[in-house]
Amino acid sequence: MSDTHDPFLAALDAYAAAVAAKDADAFAALYADDVHVFDLWGRWELRGLPAWRAMAQDWFSSLGAETVAVTYAQAQSRADGALAYGHTVLTFAAHAADGARLRSLDNRISLVLERRGADWKIVHEHTSAPVDHASGKALLKRDGAE
């Protein structure tokens, strides 16, 4: 459980809850209207909340009866005035309707948040994974973990 006074950790917790619930509205509510995302999957970048919301809706609807649990490790963050930022390693674990773990992957993520009124909104997200030079494939398990 994170410190809810840390906007970065609070955003990670809300992100995990939205993904677990497959709630595109709760997911999108974390982001600013002018969000700019460098995502790991399929596109070079996504600009603006409508594009990012559509990505989340597509992702959640593709899961069917499966659910995804998001956890994080090695989180480091800092908040200063109206800006907060941090980075962590996210683990996405897919589970069948009966709770059986199906697969998982790790993703590096950096977030920049800006205070917009009373709320903190993600204005920039960058996800990545290292690439194996020999195969050209992304390494989606941290430190060789299974």
Q: What tens digit of pLDDT does each residue of 97-128 get?
A: 999 999 999 999 999 999 999 999 999 999 98
DSSP label of 140? -
Domains and CATH numbers, the chain: 7-144 (3.10.450.50)
CA dist 15 to 35, 100, 134, 144, Å?
15, 22, 34, 25
Residue 15 φ then ψ, to 5°: -60, -50
3-state class (DSSP) for residue 18: helix
pTM as predicted: 0.89
The predicted-structure confidence for 76-96, as pLDDT tens digits, reads as follows 999 999 999 999 999 999 999
Instruction: Name the pLDDT band for 144 (thresholds 50, 70, 90).
Output: low
Q: What does the alpha-carbon distance between residue 47 and residue 104 come to, in Å, rounded to a whole number? A: 27
Please name every residue paired with 46 in a beta bridge, in sequence order, or none if there are none: 37
Joined together, the tokens standing for residue 58 give: 């597509």
Task: State the burial class of residue 27 (Cβ atoms within 10 Å of its Cβ: 0-12, 13-18, 19+).
Answer: buried
- Give one word for 48, left, alpha or beta, with left for phi > 0 and alpha for psi -120 to 50: left
